Amino acid sequence: MTWGMARDVSFFDKLGSLLAQEREAEKARMTALAQGLSLREREEQGLSVLDLETVEEEVGLGGRILLTLARADRGRLPTRLSNGDLVAVLPRRAEVKEPAKALISRATSTRIQLAFDREPPAYLSEGLLRLDVVPNDVTYERVRAGLQRVKAMDKGQERHKREVLLGNEAPKFDNTKDFTPTRPLNPEQQDAAKRALAAEDFFLVHGPPGTGKSTVLAEVAAQAVARGERLLCTAASNAAVDHLLELCLEQGLRALRVGHPARVAARLQEHTLDIVVEEHPDRVVSRDLFDEAFDLFGYARRQRSQGRSRERFSNARSSTAEAKDLMDEARKLEKKAVKAVLARADVVCVTLASLGSGVLAGEEFDRALLDEATQATEPLALLGFLRAPKVVLAGDPQQLPPTVLSQEASKAGLGVSLFERLLQDHGDDVKRMLREQYRMNAAIMAFPSKEMYGGELRAHPSVADRTLDGVLNPGAQVDAPPVLYLDTAGKGFDEEVEPTTHSLLNPGEATYVIARVRELLAKGLSPRELAVIAPYSAQARHLREALEAVHPDVEVDTVDAFQGREKDAILVSLTRSNSEGQLGFLNDLRRMNVALTRARRHLFVVGDSATLSSHPFYGRFIEGTQAEGGYRSAWEWPDPAEQ
């Protein structure tokens, strides 16, 4: 136990100032990105969308007005805006003093639905519009307020919890009885679930790739609800929260997803609060009241615009007053409906950032599960501790760290997740590492296990020997050992800088990846079981554009998009090739660990050993492929240009 480093509550102030630093870095980045760009370039950078018009109007939950916009030519939108992004809406050509602000409530490749909290200005239905993405301070304000609340935990149990979080007091466990699992668990999974359920303060579940961290969380959820507990499931990303929701639904638990339906996977939308509440009788009445209120607002607007008589003004005034009363009544009924729907749920699933939304005000929980905890910054993760007395954090400190833009803030501690810090403070007694993995062929597992997990991972017999042969056309011949490294050294494939983003790409390397995709698909591999990963966004974009024509179902993305996921075959383009041996991003070995642990049967890595070998990690990787018969030189490989 490292008791020597007693912290006081000023620690939370320090986190607050690092958070403010990060906020400034985000704003500065947006400003810098936008400066000196033409409108078209803004559009390319994902900062704006041009030439939109309103195609639909409806009323949503809470009397929000929903407008759907599309390109005037109904074409594809150049950038994928995300649900929940805050945007300013301006006329495309005219100047306005105060642009309307809205949240994106649903975004597809051709349409954007915006949610307005108040009546949008008339210009929204009069001609072409542009959207500008604006920084959203809501999350920042919620997290900042959360830190102050943790700091103020000063009485009884709360004080103990705060001291545990500061590393000054040891966490408590009750001596639990064994439980009968609802599904087969291996000994480490069983032990992790048992200790997570015994935790009075917190427990850490360390789940390396493919080791069944989800299985443990699902078991903890089922057992907790069976004991009559009310459970909160949370994570930093919407995808991780959706995953928790699915685990709970599979266990037959009454689980509800809180958050913008637009941010939730389509197949899960029927479980969102916004959708479920629509069926509630109080909500049905409130909908009619909202409609009536809008009709009155419309009437008042027409009265005002038709002329300036006294009678018209008094009509307008009384209609407006009546409409406001109806709105208040409707909102009260709606609140009642929301409370009733929440009360019926055993499990509430919501992102950490949305825990502070008004809907959940006053909701209490007995236990919280926090997944992908190693990807959340500490101030964000602490929000979970404000909602439940016991928190189970699951994650893997050897995979993607929290995303922090400000180098200074990251070095000063914002780059360390709460999971990692609690582990440093309280030692190995507060965590269980899962060691048996159910994803990768043993040869794919070997290198990451040795480098990142002290050689402790084991491949379950059901996966240890599986290869591509099992999923290709019968009798297909292909050079595909479990790990194949294709060395481009000496080929002259130098990396290039993409002018607008300053990200890197390597077209020469890309030709080999594209040829490999064609070959594997031709031999019968399902395009949905093949993915291409590049550490640089420019290389990912370059590959994606080239591969869309080959097959639209082959996924191409950067490392971050693949955390938590797996495919039969993964092709990795390392991209870097320069005479200085500069590796940049590739020095982040946790990112690389994610890229190397997604494949079940075949991992194909392309790179320039002359550049890569300057780093011992890559040197050992390449030597390993030589020892195992998985090394090939591009000089002896079929030339893509001739294929």
Residue 512 CA to residue 491 CA, distance in Å, equals: 12
At 84 the pLDDT is 74
Specify the higher pLDDT residue, 5 or 200.
200
Residue 413 CA to residue 407 CA, distance in Å, equals: 10
Half-sphere exposure of 85 (CA within 13 A, CB side): 20
Looking at the DSSP assignment, which residues form a beta bridge with residue 278?
none
At 2 the pLDDT is 42
72 φ/ψ angles, rounded to the nearest 5 degrees = -55, -35
At 388 the pLDDT is 96
- Please give the helix or strand (H or E) that residue 50 lies within, else none: strand 48-59
Residues 150, 112 contacting (CB under 8 angstroms):
no
Structure tokens at 312: 């018209």
Structure tokens at 406: 């400000």
Residue 599 CA to residue 622 CA, distance in Å, equals: 18
At 161 the pLDDT is 96
Looking at the DSSP assignment, which residues form a beta bridge with residue 261?
none
Q: Concatenated DSSP letters for 198-242?
A: HBSSEEEEE--TTS-HHHHHHHHHHHHHHTT--EEEEESSHHHHH
3: confidence class by pLDDT, cuts 50, 70, 90: very low
At 5 the pLDDT is 62
501: confidence class by pLDDT, cuts 50, 70, 90: confident
At 183 the pLDDT is 92
Residue 626 CB-density burial (10 A; 0-12 exposed, 13-18 middle, 19+ buried): exposed
Residue 237 CA to residue 372 CA, distance in Å, equals: 8
Distances from the Cα of 179 to the Cαs of 206, 231, 247, 304, in angstroms?
A: 21, 18, 19, 70
Specify the higher pLDDT residue, 283 or 170.
170
pLDDT one-digit tens code per residue, 583-612:
998 999 999 999 999 999 999 999 999 999
Distances from the Cα of 370 to the Cαs of 196, 295, 375, 392, in angstroms?
A: 12, 45, 11, 6
Residue 610 CA to residue 612 CA, distance in Å, equals: 6
Q: Is the pLDDT of residue 1 over 50?
A: no
What is the edge-to-edge ordering of all strands in the sheet holding 367-370? 255-257, 347-351, 231-235, 367-370, 390-395, 202-206, 431-433
The mean per-residue pLDDT over the stretch 358-386 comes to 95
At 125 the pLDDT is 84
Specify the higher pLDDT residue, 383 or 266.
383
At 178 the pLDDT is 81
Residue 285 CA to residue 277 CA, distance in Å, equals: 12
284: confidence class by pLDDT, cuts 50, 70, 90: confident
Specify the higher pLDDT residue, 83 or 113.
113
Q: Is the pLDDT of residue 164 over 90?
A: yes
Q: Is the pLDDT of residue 4 over 50?
A: no
265: confidence class by pLDDT, cuts 50, 70, 90: confident
Helical pair 138-151 and 156-166, crossing angle rounded to 10 deg: 110
pLDDT one-digit tens code per residue, 30-58:
888 778 788 888 887 788 899 999 999 88
How confident is the prediction for the chain on average, in pLDDT? 92
The number of helix segments (H) and strand segments (E) in the chain equals: 20, 23
Q: Concatenated DSSP letters for 541-554?
A: HHHHHHHHTT-TTS
